[in-house]
Amino acid sequence: MESLGKTIELLCKEKGISKEDVLEAVKVGIINAAKKAGYRGNLVVKIDEDGKDFGIYQEKVVVEEVKDPDHEISLEEARELFGEEVKPGDKVLIEIKTEELGRIAAKAAAQVIHDKITEAERRALYDYFKEKIGDVISGTVKEIRRNGDIIVDLGRVVGILPKEEQIPKEKYRIGDRVRALIYDVVFDYKRYNRRKPSRIEDYPPPYVILSRTHPKFLKRLMEIEIPEVADELVEIKAVAREPGVRAKVAVDSKVDYVDPVGACIGVKGSRILPISRELSGEKIEIIRWSDDIAELVARALSPAEVIQSEAYEDENGELRVEVVVPDDQLSLAIGKRGVNARLVSKLAAQAGQVVGIDIIKESDFRKLEELEGEFGEEE
């Protein structure tokens, strides 16, 4: 069976599937073909490691009197086939001549082999992309679904960019190039996303789930585009995003001679602006990291001026940061629709498990100080 061996070798090379998976598929295919040809009982297939020689057998138990011909063989017949040393209770393998399988059985075997190989190939793709979770990948928009999901052609598989993982103001057309984070890999997309069932069965699994809104997408873009980050001279400590609107990134330098903020921004924004354009104009602020969480929050509230920033534990023992700003800076500190304050809260939560930020205008803070002073005097 030289041809079988060559077929197995070719499949392993072309599909990137292990020889063990292919051999297992071949065994299942041959057994199914034999069953279609009318053979019953416990069927066993043996294939040598090279796949050049194989045999199919019926495993039967040796008995004095046969009651189940599919699973038993008489002692007399067994001794004729295997010698006088055979005794009742022994298990013997009776070879089925492969030419008896016939053309129909061979076709059935080929189909099962094809299905098994397809399954193994999909599993290999799943394992490959599972290792790539967190990486950035590029593809072409293949289809725009009614539920807003974007189907992306990634070559050997399709990617799905769910509506909730798209930057809100972005619009796509068929054929557009799209760059995104590999967020997850799944076989069953309906179970993964119950928001609105999508007839994804048009495409074979696995499905690569993509994201353009995840904070890690911005982090990975910076690692790709900024040499000092790629070379690990500058470390990205925390990332907070309002996708397509604004982002804050806290960075630190691992060496004294590199300014982490300047390295990320570049001359006249030459490094950060291309990343901003990739994110549909998302304004990216780079902040110098501090191990002091109160200091980090003060820096992150930029462009607002900060008079005082202090970390404290609330009545539940959870960490909060109180920030005092000039009265005319309060709206700037909070930001349009609260964006600035939310980003600072997200950044602080990543950096030091801070549960909340309290932004107080200076006049209110002074009144509180006066009240505390009055109560102190009365005591």
What is the domain-level CATH number for residue 62?
3.30.1480.10
Question: Alpha-carbon distance 107 to 90, whole Å?
Answer: 34
Question: Alpha-carbon distance 86 to 79, whole Å?
Answer: 6
CB 51 within 8 A of CB 9: yes
Please check whether residue 256 lies inside any domain of the structure.
yes
CA 339 to chain centre: 29
Please check whether residue 164 lies inside any domain of the structure.
yes
**CATH number of 185's domain:** 2.40.50.140
Extract the runs of DSSP E, i.e. beta strands, from the chain.
42-47, 54-63, 72-74, 91-96, 136-144, 150-153, 158-161, 177-186, 207-211, 234-242, 246-253, 283-288, 308-313, 319-325, 356-361
pLDDT string in tens for the chain (379-residue length): 455 666 667 767 776 667 777 778 778 877 887 887 788 889 988 877 766 667 789 999 999 999 999 999 999 999 999 999 999 999 999 988 766 665 645 565 667 677 777 888 899 899 999 999 999 999 999 999 988 899 999 999 999 999 999 999 899 999 999 999 999 999 887 766 655 555 666 788 999 999 999 999 999 999 999 999 999 999 999 999 999 999 999 999 999 999 999 999 999 999 999 999 999 999 999 999 999 999 999 999 988 999 999 999 888 888 999 999 999 999 999 999 999 999 999 999 988 778 888 999 888 888 876 666 655 545 4
Please check whether residue 226 lies inside any domain of the structure.
no
Choose the final residue of a domain: 101, 129, 157. Answer: 129
At 377, which helix (H) or strand (E)? helix 362-378
| pLDDT the model gives residue 39 | 83
Choose the final residue of a domain: 289, 312, 328. Answer: 289
Q: Backbone phi, then psi, for 316, in 5-degree steps?
A: -95, 5
Q: Tell me: do 105 and 25 sit in the same domain.
A: yes
**What's the chain's Rg over C-alpha atoms?**
34
Number of domains in the chain: 4
Choose the final residue of a domain: 129, 154, 180. Answer: 129
Q: Tell me: do 8 and 123 sit in the same domain.
A: yes
Q: Tell me: do 332 and 364 sit in the same domain.
A: yes
CB 52 within 8 A of CB 1: yes
Q: Tell me: do 151 and 269 sit in the same domain.
A: no
Q: Tell me: do 17 and 109 sit in the same domain.
A: yes
Question: Alpha-carbon distance 341 to 242, whole Å?
Answer: 11
Please check whether residue 223 lies inside any domain of the structure.
no
Please check whether residue 60 lies inside any domain of the structure.
yes
Q: Tell me: do 274 and 325 sit in the same domain.
A: no
Q: Tell me: do 203 and 246 sit in the same domain.
A: no
Please check whether residue 219 lies inside any domain of the structure.
no
The encoded tokens of residue 224 equal: 């790709």
Nearest C-alpha neighbor of 157 from the set 180, 112, 192, 123: 123
Q: Tell me: do 189 and 250 sit in the same domain.
A: no
Nearest C-alpha neighbor of 360 from the set 315, 317, 328, 330: 330
Q: What is the pTM of this model?
A: 0.76
Please check whether residue 227 lies inside any domain of the structure.
no
Q: Tell me: do 209 and 307 sit in the same domain.
A: no
Q: Tell me: do 9 and 27 sit in the same domain.
A: yes
At 75, which helix (H) or strand (E)? helix 75-82
The encoded tokens of residue 356 equal: 């909340």
Please check whether residue 34 lies inside any domain of the structure.
yes
**CATH number of 372's domain:** 3.30.300.20
Range of the domain at 366: 292-379
Q: Within a 10 A sphere around the Cβ of 117, how many other Cβ atoms?
A: 21
The encoded tokens of residue 115 equal: 């299905």
CB 65 within 8 A of CB 74: yes
Q: Tell me: do 185 and 142 sit in the same domain.
A: yes
CB crowding 55-92: b at 16 or more within 10 Å, else e = bbbbebbbbeebeeeeebbbbeebeeeeeeebeeeeeb
| pLDDT the model gives residue 72 | 94
Cis peptide before 260 (omega within 30 of 0): no
